[in-house]
């Protein structure tokens, strides 16, 4: 008689495997985890029955027993963000090949939601969480770090189980502005982000300081409030145009707003860069292919994601970790040129 083909794939447990292979559960566990030497005969027997039953150990049960979930929470702001998306990819890549996997949750730039997400991650007993900027206070972050390893971007904090990587938004904006100044522009408009957004604040400061350092005081009429979205950039640009202010260049505090501004310009038949120079910030994947290709400040988001994940792995291993922020880079493409005189 042939061996009975195993049909009831339901509920295959480690105990079942042990029984079928004629060994104890511990032995199966040891083979699964390589946690101790096991005789070859038993190993083969067990591996066979595992294959035969297509057995997948229950990670929940394992986590419960080991007190570790091998899961790293990742608090991002919008799961569909083209910007943070790159960071998520960096995290995924860094974690591939390790036993850890990421658990992505979105905070929507909303303190309450971020707190709720953090609670969820804690309830799931993640081994650590990577926080991509967001609105949690430094104090809260420090508090969390008392309970589990935390890696946070966009901050400059230090604590035992905490690693952070700040980004020099100020410097990036300074450089971008200086680039325009170097091209001879003196009337440079700035489309800013939400005024309670830390990145927006820093970028504005960089813009103002660069002007100041060049002996060109900034004028409030050339600073347009907006919201980091394409629509906001477009609106701001229209408003600027209607104000009849004199200007030869526009620096948008992010690429998305630059896209919007570009469209507003197009609508009025104003050419870029012939008539107006345009600079963005972030270097979204699309900016290479925008019309014209956009001069912008490249944020190494992918690398930041990767480094954040690597730092988390170290923290989990009980080691100290600090992240050397990869440098920002001004990417000069075709949307800027020397001012007409």
Partner DNA sequence: CTGTTAGCGCTTTCAA
Partner DNA sequence: TTGAAAGCGCTAACAG
Q: Does residue 44 interact with DNA by CB under 7 A? A: no
In the list 19, 57, 171, 214, the residue contacting DNA (rule: CB under 7 A) is 57
Residue 101 binding result from a second copy, DNA, none, given CB thresholds of 5 to 8 Å by partner type: a second copy
Residue 331 binding result from DNA, a second copy, none, given CB thresholds of 5 to 8 Å by partner type: none
Q: Directed axis angle between helix 40-53 and helix 14-21, to 10°? A: 130
Dihedral in degrees, nearest 10, Cα atoms 3, 4, 6, 8: -160
Q: Taking contact as CB under 7 A, which single stretch among the options 1-9, 19-27, 72-80, 154-162 is the one that binds DNA?
A: 19-27
Minimal distance in Å, beta carbon 114 to DNA?
Answer: 23
User: Using CB under 7 A, which residues numbered 66 to 125 contact DNA?
Assistant: 66-67
**Which CB, 246 or 286, lies closer to a second copy?**
286
Minimal distance in Å, beta carbon 131 to DNA?
Answer: 24
Q: List beta partners, residue 192.
A: 225
**Which CB, 87 or 210, lies closer to a second copy?**
87
Q: Does residue 15 interact with DNA by CB under 7 A? A: yes
Residue 128's nearest CA partner among 103, 158, 111 is 103
Residue 84's nearest CA partner among 99, 106, 102 is 106
Number of Cβ within 10 Å of residue 99's Cβ equals: 8
Residue 78 binding result from a second copy, DNA, none, given CB thresholds of 5 to 8 Å by partner type: a second copy
224 Cβ partners below 8 Å, 6+ apart? 189, 190, 191, 192, 236, 237, 239, 240
Q: Does residue 65 interact with DNA by CB under 7 A? A: yes
Minimal distance in Å, beta carbon 66 to a second copy?
Answer: 10
Residues that bind a second copy (CB under 8 A): 9, 56-61, 63-64, 69, 78-82, 85-86, 88-89, 92, 101, 103-106, 119-120, 122-125, 146-147, 230, 234, 259-260, 262-263, 266, 285-286, 288-293
Residue 289 binding result from DNA, a second copy, none, given CB thresholds of 5 to 8 Å by partner type: a second copy
| Beta strands 101-106 and 150-153, pairing class | unpaired
Residue 24 binding result from DNA, a second copy, none, given CB thresholds of 5 to 8 Å by partner type: DNA
Number of Cβ within 10 Å of residue 235's Cβ equals: 20
- In a 13 Å sphere around the CA of 62, the CA atoms on its Cβ side amount to 14
Distance, CA of 40 to chain centre: 46
DSSP letter at 125? T
**Which CB, 28 or 311, lies closer to DNA?**
28
In the chain, count H helices and then E strands.
12, 11
Residue 120 binding result from a second copy, DNA, none, given CB thresholds of 5 to 8 Å by partner type: a second copy
Residue 41 binding result from a second copy, DNA, none, given CB thresholds of 5 to 8 Å by partner type: DNA
User: Using CB under 7 A, which residues numbered 125 to 154 contact DNA?
Assistant: none
Tokens of 6: 């195993």
Minimal distance in Å, beta carbon 78 to a second copy?
Answer: 7
Q: Taking contact as CB under 7 A, which single stretch among the options 63-71, 212-220, 282-290, 316-324 is the one that binds DNA?
A: 63-71
Alpha helix (H) residue ranges in 158-197: 169-182
**Which CB, 177 or 256, lies closer to a second copy?**
256
163 Cβ partners below 8 Å, 6+ apart? 150, 151, 152, 308, 311, 312, 314, 315, 321, 322, 323
Tokens of 233: 């950039």
Q: Where does this chain bind DNA (CB under 7 A)?
A: 11, 13-15, 22-30, 32-33, 35-39, 41-43, 57-58, 61-62, 64-67
């Amino acid at each position: 008689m042939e061996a009975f083909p195993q049909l009831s794939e339901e509920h295959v447990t480690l105990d079942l495997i042990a029984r079928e292979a004629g060994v104890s559960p511990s032995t199966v566990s040891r083979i699964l985890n390589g946690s101790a030497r096991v005789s070859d005969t038993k190993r083969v027997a067990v591996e066979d029955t595992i294959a035969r039953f297509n057995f997948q150990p229950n990670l929940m049960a394992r986590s419960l027993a080991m007190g570790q979930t091998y899961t790293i929470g990742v608090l991002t702001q919008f799961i569909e963000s083209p910007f943070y998306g790159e960071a998520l990819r960096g995290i995924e890549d860094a974690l591939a090949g390790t036993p850890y996997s990421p658990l992505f949750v979105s905070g929507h730039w909303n303190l309450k939601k971020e707190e709720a997400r953090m609670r969820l991650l804690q309830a799931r007993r993640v081994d650590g969480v990577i926080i991509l900027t967001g609105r949690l206070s430094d104090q809260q972050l420090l508090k969390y770090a008392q309970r589990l390893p935390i890696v946070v971007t966009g901050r400059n904090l230090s604590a035992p189980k905490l690693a952070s990587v700040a980004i020099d938004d100020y410097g990036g904006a300074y450089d971008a502005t200086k680039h325009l100044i170097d091209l001879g522009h003196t009337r440079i408009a700035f489309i800013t982000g939400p005024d309670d957004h830390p990145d927006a604040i820093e970028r504005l400061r960089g813009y103002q300081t660069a002007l100041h350092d060049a002996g060109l005081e900034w004028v409030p009429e050339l600073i347009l409030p907006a919201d980091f979205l394409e629509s906001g950039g477009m609106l701001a640009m229209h408003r600027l145009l209607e104000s009849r202010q004199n200007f030869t260049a526009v620096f948008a505090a992010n690429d998305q707003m630059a896209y919007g501004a570009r469209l507003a310009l197009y609508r009025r038949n104003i050419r870029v860069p012939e008539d107006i120079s345009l600079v963005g910030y972030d270097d979204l994947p699309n900016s290479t292919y925008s019309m014209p290709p956009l001069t912008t400040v490249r944020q190494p988001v992918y690398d930041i994601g990767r480094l954040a994940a690597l730092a988390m792995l170290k923290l989990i291993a009980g080691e100290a970790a600090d992240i050397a922020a990869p440098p920002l880079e001004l990417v000069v493409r075709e949307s800027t040129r020397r001012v007409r005189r």
